[in-house]
Structure 1
Amino acid sequence: MKGQHGVDWVETTFGWEPHWTMDPRVSDIEAVMKTTFQIPQDCNVVFIGQGALNKLYRVQYGNDSLLMRISLPVDPSSKTESEVATLHFIRKNSNLPVPRVQAYNSSRSDPIGFEWILMNLMPGMPLQERWRSISWPAKEAIVEQLAGFSASMYRRQFRAIGNIYPNPKRPDLSTLEIQRIVSMQFFWGDHLSQAVSRGPFQSSQEWIAARLSLNEADSERILRHSSDEDEREDAETTLRIIQRLRNHLPEFFPTKGIERTMFFHDDLSQQNILVDKDGNLTAVVDWECVSALPLWKACQCPAFLQGRDRNDEPIRDAYGRSKNGDANDLFWEHWLEYEFTRLRSFFLKKMYKLECGWIDVFRSSQKQRDFDLAAQNCDNPFCFRTIHAWLDDVEQKKEPMRGLSERLQE
């Protein structure tokens, strides 16, 4: 499927994937660097990796090293401008170390031909690569810093669901405002071309209804064009779940005026948290598509701490050994669950001391988070049976013994 300049969407077994139709040229990056920064000496540009939507380049000149992230135009201009404003807001309103933006271009108006952000190259390695080697106090210190960040965001609430942008009349970023949402679900595949509201949303009900409409359009397209019986059956099941969820939207999310929201980095994974060799937090990266979301959604543990509870410490000798004599993979899987269970408790205790209001929202919002999880997975065949069973309990007015998230983990 043809997308914007530079990107095609390719349908795979697991859904749509973005593909670059052309690569940025190092010579063009060097030319823009010299023009933008008037660098007198040669700069060295090296490709260092890529993600689903970006290519990363290290830019070195003199003793300085910067990171240029060049993006596919999946949500032209909006994704770049929102991320720049978000990084500015986080730097100004929290103590979390995040990259400083040196320059950016949210159009294709220079020789590079893609949107880009030039930022400080942050030190450290992904937490995932250091986890086993760092001390327990270091792990607690990281979690404590993330709790401080959550508290600082809770204290700086907004009145709409969406993304933050520079005020067009104040391009110096001194004034920021919430506008249309930049979210993967809203631009993935052909979603950018669909006539669905993109906000800013004034309520959770509006936001979730728009997301369900996107899933509905996907399923209806399958029924129109696909002859695969399994695909058609899954699409019909998705439509039934969507209708059931819509019936309960006002019940779970009654509209009571404008809703309070806060920034929430929903991908605080170990890959996006950088630490030094001793486990000291050096940066949190990957702030694209970070939105102001309802408090019930935002007041939850960081993503890397979420998962199955394991309160009993795994005993290494009870597990088999790998070929090199170390404990096997199952032990380490259970050990991580045990550590994350302890750290979740530690995080919540810190939040209780820092912001009781955050804890009150967290404790009272499980039903809303379950509904959101059902909406998020309404087109996932592996979740159909569990979501239907959860909806049965809702409609029969049963008080579920377990939330949907707990059921899906089983």
Structure 2
Amino acid sequence: MRSNEPFSLDWIGVDNPWTGVGVDLVALQTIVCDIFHVPRAQCGPPVVLNPMEEEDDDEGYARVYAFQLPSRSVVARLVAPVKPMFKTEAEVAAMDFVRSKTALPVPEIYSYCSDARNPVGVEWIIMEHMPGMMMDDALPTLQPAHLRRLAHDLVDLHDQLSKLRADGCGSIYHSTGDFGPSTFASKRCSRSLRWNLPPKELLRSMNNLCAHRLDDGYRLGPLNDINLLQFKLAVPPPAQTMPVSTSEDYVKLLAFNGSPTTRSDDDPPASEMCVELFLHVQNLYPNSPFLGPSVDAEKFFFSHGDLHGANILVDPKSGAVTGLIDWEAAAFRPLWACMAGVGWFREDRQRFLTSDVDPENFEDDVSGDAELRALFRTELHNRNPDLFACFLGGVELRGILNGACDLPRPAGSPDIFLSRYLRLGFWNEARRGPFPCDMNAWRRRRYQLDVVERERQQALKAAQNGKI
């Protein structure tokens, strides 16, 4: 479908993935009662945990509800139909994987269904209700000692995840041979329990696309990066987001929205220019095993993929991290791409150009902020020097990648990013030599597309006026 907005020629997604989706919350409550063998009278009604803000124009990728049972509160995460089955299967496998391999506070999954053809009407995951407040909400209430505890816990989070490695870049899935129906069991286990068995054709699809074997019954499969799940663009199918083996291929996969690309030929060529710039910057680190162009075996690290202050739960009385939620974008990635800090401790927006926003250079720091940031950096270096090197050294690579993955105009601004990158002096020609991209040719191409778009808009208006 085409929008009347300028530069929307490759906007062939949807404004809201929940449009036309029917959800039966009564059926969901019945399933919760069945799983836990609880009479309906002892199961509270669904309570919304992620209400929409008034300024939101869509509902995102999940609706989340809590159910109060006699002995516990459980959470039901209803999954929007974006990359059906694969995203849910990867999220479940990621949570199982991290729970079995680390001491991080990841919710236990009691049961799940990755086939929308069930009584609820959508895919769902029923899991443990983790304690704590969202980190963003808790930060203003934390005392200095609590903030220091939080800094240490966040370093520990990154350190534990960085020890989980693979020889490819992609999302993680359970081996398809384990895809049998199960009933609820209360003990913690490495394989979450499936509510029903998906149709054979879906299992065959997963088996074909998740052929890269990992240890302990896991496989590497199609990548579910947030940039590949942007439902306002075309969401590339699993066959176009297969695992890759180099940072270059990872960047191209994200920038071009799949392989082969799902972006329109009429999309302004800023993404291609950003990829070219990325490769030139990467070549400035020929001897770095993390920032340079060479990727050795086992150099892909497991990461959450959407780690921000709303997906980290914190004890407001101590600053301790109590829960890590929303693992739908988890995957093995290059370490430079994973190690951006998190929430308040994410320094990229302070030190580097973010889309069309200039670096803030810590200008909004108040008393104690600099010391807390120094504590985080020092602890990170002491715990894991590789993480520290990617945290500081990877900021430019991450910034260029974000520019490459931005939506087209008018919502996105990859073209503005490129212009500001050059004008603000991020490419130091005295030290790096001539700028590697032909900006004049790029501007001419962008102008040509502007002309095409104006002509399309004029033709559209003329057609509309003719019908009146």
TM-score normalised by L of structure 1 = 0.75
> Post-superposition shift, 1:343?
3.0
| Match 2:153 to one of 133, 140, 145 | 145
Q: Which residue of 1 aligns with 2:15?
A: 17
Could you give the per-residue CA deviations for residues 278-319 of structure 1, whole angstroms, max 9, x where no partner exists? Answer: 133321222221221101212332243124659xxxxxxxxx
Q: Aligned partners of 1:129, 1:94: CA distance in 2, in Å?
A: 26
| Match 1:357 to one of 386, 389, 408 | 386
| Match 1:254 to one of 273, 278, 293 | 293
The letter for the 1-side match of 2:314 is V
Structure 1 residues 150 and 244: CA distance shift in structure 2, 3 A? closer
> Post-superposition shift, 1:371?
3.6
- Kindly indicate whether residue 314 of structure 2 is the aligned counterpart of residue 264 of structure 1: no
Q: Aligned partners of 1:195, 1:102: CA distance in 2, in Å?
A: 26
Q: Which residue of 2 aligns with 1:241?
A: 273
Structure 1 residues 160 and 239: CA distance shift in structure 2, 3 A? closer
- Kindly indicate whether residue 436 of structure 2 is the aligned counterpart of residue 393 of structure 1: no
| Match 2:228 to one of 169, 186, 199 | 186
Deviates more, 1:163-172 or 1:152-161: 163-172
Q: Aligned partners of 2:271, 2:106: CA distance in 1, in Å?
A: 41
Structure 1 residues 245 and 77: CA distance shift in structure 2, 3 A? same
Could you give the per-residue CA deviations for residues 78-133 of structure 1, whole angstroms, max 9, x where no partner exists? Answer: 11111111112222222322211111101123200110000111122222222222
Deviates more, 1:35-44 or 1:56-65: 35-44
| Match 1:75 to one of 78, 83, 92 | 83
Q: Aligned partners of 2:143, 2:4: CA distance in 1, in Å?
A: 44
> Post-superposition shift, 1:74?
0.1
Which structure would you say has the larger RCO, counting Cα contacts within 8 Å and 6 or more residues apart? 2
> Post-superposition shift, 1:351?
1.7
| Match 1:284 to one of 309, 313, 324 | 324
- Give aligned-pair identity as a percent: 20
Structure 1 residues 389 and 85: CA distance shift in structure 2, 3 A? same
- Kindly indicate whether residue 414 of structure 2 is the aligned counterpart of residue 383 of structure 1: no
Q: Aligned partners of 2:385, 2:83: CA distance in 1, in Å?
A: 37
Unaligned runs of 5+ in 2: 52-58, 180-189, 192-215, 285-291, 352-361, 435-468
| Match 2:377 to one of 345, 348, 363 | 348
Could you give the per-residue CA deviations for residues 317-354 of structure 1, whole angstroms, max 9, x where no partner exists? Answer: xxxxxxxxxxxxxxxx9655665543332122112221
Q: Aligned partners of 2:151, 2:368: CA distance in 1, in Å?
A: 12
Q: Aligned partners of 2:278, 2:316: CA distance in 1, in Å?
A: 49
Structure 1 residues 58 and 363: CA distance shift in structure 2, 3 A? closer
Q: Aligned partners of 2:369, 2:333: CA distance in 1, in Å?
A: 25
Deviates more, 1:277-286 or 1:51-60: 277-286
Structure 1 residues 237 and 337: CA distance shift in structure 2, 3 A? farther
Q: Aligned partners of 2:380, 2:247: CA distance in 1, in Å?
A: 24
The within-5 A match list for 1:53-72 is 53-72=61-80
Deviates more, 1:237-246 or 1:292-301: 237-246
Size of the aligned set, in residue pairs, is 359
The letter for the 1-side match of 2:229 is F
> Post-superposition shift, 1:143?
1.4
- The CA RMSD measured in Å over matched residues stands at 3.5
Deviates more, 1:193-202 or 1:204-213: 193-202
Deviates more, 1:257-266 or 1:77-86: 257-266
> Post-superposition shift, 1:218?
6.7
Please say if residues 219 and 239 of structure 1, whose CA atoms lie closer than 8 Å, have aligned partners that are also in contact: no
The letter for the 2-side match of 1:38 is H
The within-5 A match list for 1:118-133 is 118-133=126-141
Structure 1 residues 112 and 91: CA distance shift in structure 2, 3 A? same
> Post-superposition shift, 1:29?
0.8
Please say if residues 301 and 344 of structure 1, whose CA atoms lie closer than 8 Å, have aligned partners that are also in contact: no
* Larger relative strand fraction: 1
Structure 1 residues 336 and 388: CA distance shift in structure 2, 3 A? closer
> Post-superposition shift, 1:23?
3.7
Determine helix, strand or coil for the equivalent of 1:69: strand
Please say if residues 274 and 284 of structure 1, whose CA atoms lie closer than 8 Å, have aligned partners that are also in contact: yes
Deviates more, 1:136-145 or 1:17-26: 17-26
Please say if residues 305 and 341 of structure 1, whose CA atoms lie closer than 8 Å, have aligned partners that are also in contact: no
Deviates more, 1:35-44 or 1:128-137: 35-44
Please say if residues 166 and 301 of structure 2, whose CA atoms lie closer than 8 Å, have aligned partners that are also in contact: yes
Determine helix, strand or coil for the equivalent of 1:236: coil
Q: Aligned partners of 2:325, 2:103: CA distance in 1, in Å?
A: 14
- Kindly indicate whether residue 335 of structure 2 is the aligned counterpart of residue 295 of structure 1: yes
The letter for the 1-side match of 2:177 is K
